[in-house]
Structure 1
Amino acid sequence: MKIERILCCATSAIALMYSSGALAQATTAPQTADTPAEQAGIEPAGAEAGDDGREIIVTGSRIRRDGFDQPTPTTVLGDVELRQGARANIQQVLNDQPQFRATVTPQVSNGNTSTGTAPVDLRGLGINRTLTLVNGRRFVGDNNLNFVPTGLIEQVQVVTGGASAAWGSGAVAGVVNLILKDDLQGVTVGAQSGISSRGDGMRYGFDASFGTKFAGGNGHFMIGGEYLKDEGIFDRNSRRNLGSAGIVRVNPTSLTDLSTRLTRDVNYGNISRDGLITTGVLAGQNFGSDGVLRPFRGGTPLGAGAFPGQMIGGADGVGLYDDVSASTPFDRLNIYGRASYDLGGATIWVDGTYGRSTSNARFLTDFIVPPLTISATNPFLSAAVRNQLAAAGETSFTLGRMFSDVLSMRFNTKRENWEGAFGINGDLGKFKYRAHYSHGEIHENERLENSRIDANFTNALDAVSSGGKIVCAINADAITTNDDPACRPLNPFGRYNASAEAVDYVTGTQQQLTTTKLDSVAAEIQGDLFSLWAGPVTLVVGGEARWSSISSTRNADAVAGIFSLPVYTSDLKGSFNVKEAFTEVSFPVIDAEGVAKVELNGAARYSDYSNSGGIWSWKAGGTARLFNDLLLRVTRSRDIRSPDINELFSVRNINVGALVDQDSAGRVAIPGYNATPQAVTTYSGGNPDLVPEVSKGWTAGITYSPSFFRGFSLAVDYYDVNINGAITTLTASSLTLACSKGNTAACNSIIRNPTTQTVETVFSNSQNIASFSTRGVDIEASYVLPLSRVSSSMGGTLRMRALATYIDSFIFDTGVTRVDSAGSVGDATANGVPKWRGTLGLTYQDNIVGFDARVRYVDGGLYNRALTTLVNNKIASRTYLDLGAQFKVMDRFTLFGNVNNVFDAPPPITTAGNPHYDIVGTYFTAGVRVKF
């Protein structure tokens, strides 16, 4: 469908929509004192100060002016969005909005080391391309929103367009600015608890805050904190479509029928939890937990042979994800304090934050344990089994087992964030200024417990009888040179039969300790330089500097490389700094009252990175308001993302080995050329020579607030983002293929012999070799209706709001492959995004009660458009209904409740965790808040 047709249809397709507690819009028309928004107590977006004189940060622009309409689309999420769904953190609140992709969540990141983090991903362009701010400042949390106290957030401003000129690196997809409350008065205490309709997923939390004025009202102090614990959901099979699904051949033995099917309950066909014998006279026998053999209860085999790699079903079947949580548990603690003092013309402030997030969850059972060769005389076998093997003349057999009791790994992590800042905001005549300094640190302790120690596991499996005891074979002979006194024999037959000593011997802990630091200083001044025929020319100038560093170390066992499934493979240490200068100007062109008001806006930033040098980012745009009701806007921007410390400084690894040169055209006839050299030096890991990614973006849209339909606003914005020099990694052979297709950056990563043209060295570490491009349409509409308009006897306010995003294309080009993943919505599809997402809500609120109803829509599509042989490639759309209510009792007590996914809509068949669809099901939350 063409973008033009969507723009045309969108304005006629949207009817009554919903507004938040802070009416979203830098997109809204200027409002008069009798507008519904003000009658309902809603602050017009873009206002410079609230009724209490507090400054309102406008994220879409550095310029703050009463009623200023920004050229960059900005959506504001207020009280209603923050409370809807009773989400566990602000990340999950944002993931409900259609502009975001839930790339890393407790339901998606189970089984990997991002568990316990809470980043957001605007447009699906990657969490490192979304800049997150707190009160307009960068914070050391670097997009981990578990460090931000949800209960203290006043509002969230989301800039859905490139904003590097205003805010610096990382704002390629946009900016999320979390604005915290700073005027608390009195004491507020709250508690809440939640549980799923299946009796799992228990969650509970507490919060408290205190605020007071001092020094005759010139000073203000506040402190608040919250604790939340989410116990997670352990049993994947308690949810429909969440078992060990997989893509399998429809006719696995056919040489011509290559069709495949996404199927539930796909298990291994050659292993079991207790141990399956796959060779010899006892083939097909399965050990019970008591060590006694019985026939293996298998399913439908997929492939040739008695024990193929896969089967469907089977009572004794086990799949890779059977022991992975459906939703990983986590808890978080946040404390925020702030003190400010009005000096008269200037306000000084200081604040401090502490955040802690922990997670202790099942990771994966070691899935790379090979088929085991077991001696027929293993003393852990019963006498009857040993006799059967001896009678058949067999000296050994092959055992396939998933050691879910012995080798079930756990990921245990603790992340702590400390940050302090101080600053000043003030006036110098007609100029306003602000400055701040902050220092923050994150300390991470990651442990992968119960990891298999390869050599010890081999030793422990080789058990023999000696002196009437079962011992490790390497210890049976006193003169053996490689004996290990610590070795304890491991019983591999049946679950829970291994001794605790043996388990301790064959497993260990991989650990990594990481410290990240960020120092930041910034200052800016804004004022009207002079006035023209259409109004004042406003200028902002400022500077910023940041110093970032990271240091990570591993425990001795991880350094020694003793684990069969190593996760922490290198230490890391590095730092860089950046110094920046920026400016922004608004230039009024036309101000014909009631007819047209046209303003131009431009911004530029020069960033000087210590590792890569200087680079410019800029933005140019404008707005045209016609007849007070219609606003047209457009921006063009050049945005950047600098490489992060991991991409720059992770330890470089060297490998010497064979390579297949896929760029041999024109070289075959060269004397000495070899297309398959056997001793190519390949470097992987970090790359200190990386340069910032560069993005070019367009946004163009309209907002409409008709004077004849008071309280209604509509915004439709088109966006087009193209990122060049995106950082990614390719294998050495893939780099040669990319070079053959004309990728200059890939060619520069390959060093050939100048005479023979044979590849000698390849840099397959992080490289600026890929590109992203995406385009689509954002739609937002809202309506606010004080019911007193309908009847003077009616009280309260009705608010309606809709947000929708259409993604026309989403292309990732590595130089080797070029994939458009818009409309690919399978859980395993890299960069997959639905074509359409939207929310539609209705809220009623008066002085006593409030009711919320929200519909979330996620479009269907293909599991993966690249899988042309998949016969059930289509996934249907999902619609979710959420309901909430709040009741005020005795003016101090507020009771609230919420039900998410009321009709328990199931997810599509999912192999791991889907970022687009709800896998939890119906979920209930209730709580109370008391204010003194």
Structure 2
Amino acid sequence: MTRLLSAVAVSLAVAAGGSSAALAQQPAGAAIEEVVVTGSRIVRDGYDSPTPTTVVGSEQIQSQAAPNLIDYLTNLPSFAGNYTPQSSSQNVSSGAAGTASVNLRNLGTNRTLVLLDGQRSVPSTITGLVDVNTIPQQLIERVEVVTGGASAAYGSDAVSGVVNFILDKDYVGFKSELSGGITSYGDNGNFSIAMTAGTEFANGRGHLIVSGQEKRQHGVITGDRPWNLQGWQIINNPDYTDTNGQPRRLLLSEIAPSNATPGGLIVDGPLRGVAFGEGGTPYQFQFGPLISGSAMQGGDWEDSSLHLVGQSIEPRIGSRNLFARASFALTDAAEIYFQSNWYKNSNYSHAYPNDGYFGGLMIQADNPFIPASVAAQIATLGITEFEMGHSLRDMGTVSIDTGRVVTRNVLGITGDFDAFGSSWGWDAYYQYGVSEGSESAYNSSNLVAVDEAMDSVIDPDTGAIVCRSSLTDPGNGCVPYNPFGIGVNTSAALDYVVGDVSHRDQKFVQESAGVAVQGAPFTNWAGDVSFATGLEYRKEKSSGASTELDLQRVFFAGNYRPTFGEYDVTELFMETIVPLAVDRSWARALDLNAAVRFTDYSTSGSVETWKAGLTYMPIDSLTLRTTVSRDIRAPNLSDLFNAGLSVNQNVIDNATGNSVTTENITGGNTALRPEIADSFGIGLVFQPEFLQGFSASADYWEIDVSDAINTVSAQNIVDLCFQGNTDFCAAINNGSPLRETTGSDRNTIRIQPFNLAQQLASGVDLEASYALPAQVFGGDIGMRFLATHFIENYRDDTLTQPTDTVGENRGSGPPDWRWNASLNFSRETFSATLNARGVSDGVFSNTQIECVSGCPVSTIANPTINVNHLSGATYLDLSLSKTTYAGSDNGIEVQWFLNVKNLANKDPVLAVGGPGGIPYDTVSTNAANYDTQGRVFRAGVRVSL
């Protein structure tokens, strides 16, 4: 809302923790430009924020030429677990597929507040996720990452910090960019075109900016990468006993279903092992030597795997972004502005294979689709029915097609006045934002239709093949489905079982308004005492519609339900900066920063947040800083009003070791309270006079979230029920334990959020930069290093065993270390940057015990496994640019650039899932930590005048 208007020299901005980005780009001997660093509502020249702030300039974003803004932000070490289009591609039922949202400290995307010029941005989903690709990328002047609790200054959701996108609102001129890229595998071709123009009018009293961008990415729709085709999976060891010293779980390659193939497999009786391939040709399936529940290793594992029908490595994306801003100076002391942003995107990707029968498909002997040779054997053996497994290759892959249109309109006025003998600034604004989402799941089987279509007979009157159900109900429209083989079904049969589309339209409206004033009402012994205060109001509501079949929950995936609900919040904040000492023998400067916010929610009542911080400069080259704060995250529309999503998932039945498909029905809870977070940070900034151009900072941070809103996973519910916890058994099948199922029959698990968890995250941020004071090889050299060491990411939901996920490189936990280092060389019109980024070694799970022999007794809380280690990774990126000039006066600047990401074409570390799930169901790595595309080339040209 209130812009920080003070200009801080680059060297002082480093002391605020964020200027090394700008400094590293400065040629030696060049005049140091001033930058603006926020983190406070207060205007204060030369003030160094006690809260560390990392600043990323537009030059750095451009140097990487990332097709999506989230791709660049993910490289910053303080982010962990960002929501990217790739990582969200399996979120069919949640409606979040295709979004790009930031996650500071790995505490969750909904605990990171995203701002645009200090104002809230419009969420793209019911869970409150702000898609950062809605930001006009070509107009970004810088990105400020405030890594610390900031709820008192900026409002709810700033538990782990704030990401503030600052636009260049004073731009004058014209610039454009055209770029494209492709991987070394020849796929995921993409292009981007952007144009921006800015001009003054009315003799400089008015200013107009227009910016637009269009992007297309073809994606990597299949999982066709050599590293993704090896069948790695964690399974339960079938030979394990409590006394033989073997591990309970095994990480192995060549794992696939033992009880299903893409064209069908007979799994019981004398014909067990008869499978059906292309065109329905029978063949003898070779079972692997190791069989564990519904999984096996070896044998015809490639035949039974769901090869290339699982999750996309990269989605297909298209987007358009239009932005316009007009401002006009009403007087010398007041300016009015109107700002409008329109964003439209579409995302398409494969999610996972259709709902198959891993055993359990009962076929009657009179089914006319049975190949003749097998039918003869059935008759000879006197078989009346048999059981099959089938992964339904003919039905295709469940695919997600989402589209969103996000609009944001802001009308505001800013100005200044004199009072109390000093100058004051003020601003007021009204924002109206709308996000309209369209979500579709294609090829999601209609479970009722599948059951009917699988049971076929000969109509005794016509001799035609019909569904058995059509004999008693001739008008039911059922089209028989042939389960014997691949490529054997008609388009009519496929249309009957997967022709219906699971679909939802969801609309979110956010209205907000605010007024703020700030200034320096008086002076004490050390300088001006600054003060800011403001009042804000916000209202959010959701509505929507879905199909009748979705409401009946007949689909394997999707089953969308619209959410209806609304809440409003009123907030009053105050902030002050009090200088306590200046130019003393014991202190060059000592300042106190304090803030408080009173918040009233229509759903959960009133809550207070606050912050107190100190910055102390004992000598010119050293700054010490510390903060404590109380922050909150209020429950969002999904937490409160979710109408009940239906998600199908495989869990492990502890009683049998088999993988069981469950229907997980999630819903909201209107009794939720805001989460409360207590944060602490302490650090130092070192800028030695004897080494000009060098700056370094180190900050320890700790965030303790109580009453955290959390849900227990379906597998945890199953595990706890098996251990005898009846409360969790009540969530399964309305009080019954897991049971064996057939056909579309499945177990149901109810999942609901509660204020039941504590989360504690802590770590250390390191940052250093060095701009060589003298030229080397005729050019300037700048270096920068950023690293975050996660010490703990601990969660205790009071129901399951407390866990610390730091170092769990497979799942949602952050690595021990995330780091990024760059070396830049610039000479006149040429620039080259070599960037290294990486994560440290980790494990699959901190609760697992690695052993090969002599293992202790495995428990649900601490299972034993043969391999628990995951390697770290280092990736190299190269950026080159060359600037030329055109026009009679060389007034047209043309910059040609080439970027190579993952220069060594390094494969990702295989971080696979299990037990449960199926190889090729998900990409066999963790895209949050490891590159999935391989080497990526991107080239383009920028023109400005």
Normalising to structure 2: TM-score of the pair? 0.84
Aligned partner of 1:435: which letter?
Answer: A
Tell me, yes or no, if the aligned pair for 1:22 and 1:43 is still in contact at 8 Å. Answer: no
Counterpart selection for 1:27 from 9, 13, 17 = 17
Is it true that 1:310 corresponds to 2:323 in the alignment?
no
Q: Residues 40 and 251 of structure 1: is their aligned pair in 2 closer, same or farther, counting only changes over 3 Å?
A: farther
CA gap of 1:716–1:471, structure 2 versus 1, over 3 A, is same
Q: Please, which of 762, 769, 773 is the counterpart of residue 782 of structure 1?
A: 769
Q: Return the offset for 1:469.
A: 4.6
Separation (CA, whole Å) in 2 of partners of 1:771 and 1:86: 39
Deviations 1:773-824 (A, max 9, x none): 0111101111223545x6xxx7553221111111111100000234443443
Tell me: CA distance 1:710–1:905, structure 2 relative to 1, closer, same or farther (3 Å): same
Sort the Cα spacing of 1:24 and 1:299 in 2 relative to 1 into closer, same or farther, 3 A.
Answer: farther
Tell me by how many angstroms 1:640 deviates.
0.5
Task: Quote the Cα distance in structure 1 between the aligned partners of 2:372 and 2:16.
Answer: 80
Which residue number corresponds to residue 465 of structure 2? 471
Where do residues 861-880 of structure 1 align in structure 2 (5 Å cutoff)? Answer: 861-868=842-849, 869-880=864-875
Contact in 1 for aligned 2:105/2:160 (Cα 8 Å): yes
Structure 1 residue 201 displacement after superposition: 1.9
Matched, 1:686 2:668: yes
CA distance in 1, matches of 2:150, 2:324: 29
Q: Distance in 2 between matches of 1:732 and 1:378?
A: 37
Partner SS, residue 808 of structure 2 = coil
Query: 1:443-522 counterparts in 2 under 5 A?
Result: 443-466=436-459, 469-474=463-468, 477=471, 480=472, 482-507=473-498, 508-522=500-514
Q: 1:353 and 2:341 equivalent?
A: yes
Match of 2:383 among 394, 397, 406: 394
Aligned mates of 1:378, 1:418 — CA distance in 2: 55
> Aligned partners of 1:699 and 1:787: how far apart in 2?
36
| Letter paired with 1:369 | Y
CA contact 1:22–1:77 (8 Å) conserved in 2:
no
Match of 1:848 in 2: 829
Aligned partner of 2:61 in structure 1 is 82
Q: Secondary structure at the match of 1:271?
A: coil
For 1:572, what is the secondary structure of its paired residue? coil
Aligned equivalents of 1:765, 1:303: Cα separation in 2: 32
Measure the CA separation in 2 of the matches of 1:30 and 1:330.
Answer: 34
Map 1:220-235 onto structure 2 (within 5 A): 220-235=207-222
Contact 1:801-1:840 within 8 A present in 2 as well: yes
Corresponding residue for residue 916 of structure 2: none
- The superposition leaves residues 828-867 of structure 1 with CA deviations (integer Å, 9 ceiling, x where unpaired) of x3x4111111111011234411111111021112111112
Q: State the SS of the aligned residue for 1:315.
A: helix
Q: Distance in 1 between matches of 2:605 and 2:107?
A: 25
CA distance in 2, matches of 1:289, 1:124: 46
For 2:917, the equivalent position in structure 1 comes to none
Matched, 1:808 2:798: no
Contact kept? 1:729, 1:766, Cα under 8 Å: yes
State, as a whole percentage, how many aligned pairs show the same letter: 32
Q: Residues 170-569 of structure 1 correspond to what in structure 2 (within 5 A)?
A: 170-241=157-228, 243-250=230-237, 252=239, 256=244, 257-303=246-292, 308-312=294-298, 314-319=301-306, 322-342=309-329, 343-369=331-357, 371=359, 372-429=361-418, 430-466=423-459, 469-474=463-468, 477=471, 480=472, 482-507=473-498, 508-563=500-555, 565-568=556-559
1:380-411 Cα deviation digits (max 9, x unpaired): 23333322221222223222111122152111
Structure 1 residue 301: Cα displacement: 3.0
User: What are the equivalent positions in structure 2 for 1:764-843 lying under 5 Å apart?
Assistant: 765-785=752-772, 787-788=774-775, 796-827=779-810, 829=811, 831-843=812-824
Write out per-residue CA displacement over residues 180-232 of structure 1, whole angstroms, 9 at most, x where no aligned residue. Answer: 12223232221111111111122211111111111112211111111111222
Aligned pair partner of 2:710 in 728, 741, 745: 728
- Show the counterpart of 1:12: none
Equivalents in 1 of 2:279, 2:870: separation in Å?
44
Given the alignment, which residue of 154, 157, 165 partners 1:167? 154
1:345-395 deviations in Å (ceiling 9; x for gaps)? 222211100111211222222234353222233222333332222122222
Query: What does 1:514-663 correspond to in 2, within 5 Å?
Result: 514-563=506-555, 565-568=556-559, 570-592=561-583, 596-651=588-643
Q: Output the CA distance in 2 between the equivalents of 1:653 and 1:504.
A: 25
Q: Give the Cα–Cα distance (whole angstroms) in 2 for the partners of residues 870 and 392 of structure 1.
A: 44
Q: CA separation in 1, counterparts of 2:69 and 2:628?
A: 30
Shift of 1:151: 2.0
- Long gaps (5+) in structure 2: 1-8, 124-128, 647-663, 732-748, 850-863, 886-891, 913-921
Whether the 8 Å contact between 2:16 and 2:52 is mirrored in structure 1 is yes
Alpha-carbon distance, 1:81 to partner: 3.0
Q: What secondary structure sits across from 2:374 in the alignment?
A: helix
Matched AA of 1:166: A
Whichever residue aligns with residue 462 of structure 1, its letter is D
SS of 1:240 mapped into structure 2: helix
Q: Relative to structure 1, is the Cα distance of residues 66 and 38 closer, same or farther in structure 2, using a 3 angstrom cutoff?
A: farther
Q: C-alpha distance in 2, partners of 1:683/1:369?
A: 21
**C-alpha RMSD of matched pairs (Å):** 3.2
Partner-residue secondary structure (3-state), 1:832? coil
Q: Secondary structure at the match of 1:557?
A: helix
Counterpart code for 1:415: R
Cα 1:195/1:102, change in 2 over 3 Å: farther
Which secondary structure does the structure 1 equivalent of 2:44 belong to? coil
Q: Which residue of 2 aligns with 1:752?
A: none
- For 1:726, give the aligned amino acid: A
CA separation in 1, counterparts of 2:470 and 2:156? 63
**Partner SS, residue 405 of structure 1:** helix
Deviation at 1:597, TM superposition (A): 0.8
Q: Which of the numbers 97, 108, 126 marks the counterpart of 2:108?
A: 126
Q: Please give the secondary structure, in 2, of the residue aligned with 1:201.
A: coil
- Residue 650 of structure 1 contacts residue 685 of structure 1 at CA under 8 Å; is this kept in 2? yes
| Deviation of 1:88 (Å) | 2.3
TM-superposed CA distance for 1:689, in Å, is 1.8
**Could you say if the C-alpha distance between residues 598 and 267 of structure 1 is closer, same or farther in structure 2, counting changes exceeding 3 Å?**
same
State the match for 2:87 in structure 1.
Answer: 108
Corresponding residue number in structure 2 for 1:907: 908
Quote the residue 1:927 is aligned against.
940
Range that drifts further, 419-428 or 98-107: 98-107
CA distance in 1, matches of 2:319, 2:357: 35
Cα drift, residue 568 of structure 1: 3.1
**Paired residues of 1:786 and 1:796 also in contact (CA < 8 A):** no
Relative to 1, partners in 2 of residues 1:549 and 1:273: Cα closer, same or farther, differing over 3 Å?
same
Structure 1: state its 5+ residue gaps. Answer: 1-18, 48-57, 655-681, 750-761
Deviation at 1:132, TM superposition (A): 0.3
Quick check: 1:825–1:860 contact (8 Å CA) kept in 2?
A: no
Deviations 1:237-287 (A, max 9, x none): 414156543112456365632342322332101111111122344322221
1:14 paired residue number: none
Q: 1:454 to 1:735 in 2, by over 3 A?
A: closer
1:685-728 deviation per Cα after TM superposition (whole angstroms, max 9, x unaligned): 22212111000000100011122222111111110110000011
Q: What secondary structure sits across from 1:906 in the alignment?
A: coil
Pairing partner for 2:687 from 682, 694, 705: 705
Bigger shift: residues 19-28 or 541-550: 19-28
